[in-house]
């Protein structure tokens, strides 16, 4: 194991221990409610940047994958009373399959056509779920949480710990892809797809791999959400806000390194949680829009791009 890997896994283990300790020591429920949302956004934006960042295919279907994850969880819970682990694993599998299907259908398109096609898929899936009576239809569905298991005092704390594990998993996968031949191939096709194809990079296959992995992680992140809210309805599970938030987080942080979306998700997620409590949820969307525009215009490489530029400038002087 290289030194970088040891540092990475050490930090990951420390992070999980810290979260576990927090669930045991902190009695107040609110930090967990807020923390859960932020962790969920970290998973989503890291997963998004596997396809959107490394390969440069801007996926607006995040809410489709997220929503399918939510409803897979609900379906399994309602039909068979499946435990949380099974729900997440099943959601990941459904997500991988959905990613494969979406990839087959859309990855031959480029640029904005891919983006529009992914929005289209979101709405088509949302409409299907809306018309599916068993899943509650447009009115939504209520879920009764099962009793909480041993070391945790409340179900939300359990969910926070589960989501923290998913964060570590997502980041580890993204990090592996970035450092392996898959990541190098994806970056090559982002810079010039035709040139990459000509030099023997299997572009379509790489894009498919990225789409499948990204989809599986997004769906997995969505599965516990129904248990968190104890309620789900199509209009909010498939809300376009998820797609745009996740995209904004990744772009704000920067997409050339896995740490970018993590930073972006923490920054925007914390800001949104604070604003939602202190002002209103409308202002939340406004902040999202403004930050997206400002960063895309002023810092196209995101926060990590700013740091790199700063470091380069220091080196010169």
- Measuring CA to CA, which residue among 262, 240, 252 is closest to residue 290? 252
Interface with other proteins in residues 135-194 (CB under 8 A): 137-138
Among 139, 194, 297, 313, binds other proteins (CB under 8 A): 297
233 φ/ψ angles, rounded to the nearest 5 degrees: -140, 150
Query: Length of the chain in residues, anyone?
Result: 317
**d(Cα 302, Cα 305) in Å, to the nearest integer?**
5
User: Which range binds other proteins by CB under 8 A, 16-24, 128-136, 177-185, 269-277?
Assistant: 128-136
Q: For 165, list phi and psi in degrees, rounded to 5.
A: -60, -40
Cα radius of gyration rounded to whole Å, the chain: 19
Q: What whole-number distance in Å separates Cα of residue 265 and Cα of residue 208?
A: 25
- Residue pair 55/192 in contact (Cβ under 8 Å)? The answer is no
Spatial CA neighbour of 42 closest among 305, 224, 268, 225: 268
Q: Which is nearer to other proteins, 277 or 293 (CB)?
A: 293
Selected binder of other proteins within 7, 11, 290, 309 (CB under 8 A): 290
Tell me the C-alpha distance between 22 and 16, whole Å: 10
The tokens describing 127, both together, are 């409409």
Nearest approach, Cβ of residue 100 and other proteins (Å):
16
Residue 231, classed as helix, strand or coil, is strand
224, 73 in Cβ contact below 8 A?
yes
Query: Which residues, 56 to 95, sit near other proteins by CB under 8 A?
Result: 56, 58
Give the shortest CB-96-to-other proteins separation in angstroms.
21
Q: How far is the CB of 56 from other proteins (least distance, A)?
A: 6
Least distance between other proteins and beta carbon 128 (Å): 7
Torsion of CA 30, 23, 164, 14, to 10 degrees: 130
124 near other proteins, rule: CB under 8 A: yes
- Residue from 158, 292, 303, 304 in contact with other proteins (CB under 8 A): 292
Q: Which helix (H) or strand (E) holds 170?
A: helix 155-179
Of residues 4 and 300, the one with the C-beta less far from other proteins: 300
Query: Least Å distance between CB 109 and other proteins?
Result: 6
- The answer to whether 244 contacts other proteins (rule: CB under 8 A) is yes
- Least separation in angstroms between residue 115's CB and other proteins is 5
Q: Which of 180, 274, 293, 310 binds other proteins (CB under 8 A)?
A: 293
String of contacts with other proteins for each residue 223-242, x by CB under 8 A: -----------------x--
Apex 161 CA angle, 159 and 164, nearest 5: 110
Stretch that binds other proteins, among 105-113, 159-167, 218-226, 309-317 (CB under 8 A): 105-113
Residues of the shown chain interacting with other proteins in the complex, contacts defined by CB under 8 A: 56, 58, 105-106, 109, 111-113, 115-117, 119-121, 123-124, 126-128, 130-131, 137-138, 240, 244, 247-248, 251, 282-283, 285-286, 288-293, 296-297, 300
């Amino acid at each position: 194991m290289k030194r970088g890997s040891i540092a990475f896994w050490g930090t990951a283990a420390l992070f999980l221990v810290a979260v576990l300790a927090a669930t045991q020591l902190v009695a107040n429920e609110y930090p967990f409610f807020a923390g859960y949302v932020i962790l969920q956004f970290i998973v989503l934006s890291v997963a998004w940047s596997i396809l959107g960042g490394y390969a440069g295919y801007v996926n607006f279907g995040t809410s489709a994958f997220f929503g399918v994850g939510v409803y897979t969880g609900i379906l399994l819970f309602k039909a068979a009373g499946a435990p949380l682990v099974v729900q997440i694993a099943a959601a990941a599998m459904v997500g991988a399959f959905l990613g494969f299907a979406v990839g087959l259908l859309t990855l031959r398109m480029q640029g904005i056509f891919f983006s529009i096609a992914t929005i289209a898929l979101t709405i088509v899936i949302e409409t299907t779920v809306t018309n599916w009576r068993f899943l509650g239809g447009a009115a939504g569905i209520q879920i009764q949480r099962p009793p909480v298991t041993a070391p945790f005092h409340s179900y939300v704390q359990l969910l926070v710990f589960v989501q923290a594990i998913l964060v570590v998993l997502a980041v580890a996968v993204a990090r592996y892809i970035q450092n392996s031949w898959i990541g190098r191939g994806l970056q090559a096709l982002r810079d010039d797809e035709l040139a990459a194809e000509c030099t023997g990079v299997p572009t379509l296959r790489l894009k498919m791999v990225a789409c499948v992995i990204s989809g599986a992680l997004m769906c997995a992140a969505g599965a516990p959400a129904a248990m968190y809210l104890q309620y789900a309805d199509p209009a909010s599970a498939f809300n376009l806000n998820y797609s745009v938030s996740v995209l904004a987080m990744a772009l704000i942080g920067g997409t050339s390194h896995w740490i970018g979306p993590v930073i972006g998700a923490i920054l925007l997620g914390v800001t949104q949680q604070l604003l939602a409590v202190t002002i209103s949820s409308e202002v939340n969307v406004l902040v999202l829009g403004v930050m997206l525009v400002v960063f895309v215009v002023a810092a196209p490489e995101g926060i990590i791009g700013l740091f790199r530029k700063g470091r380069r400038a220091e080196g010169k002087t």
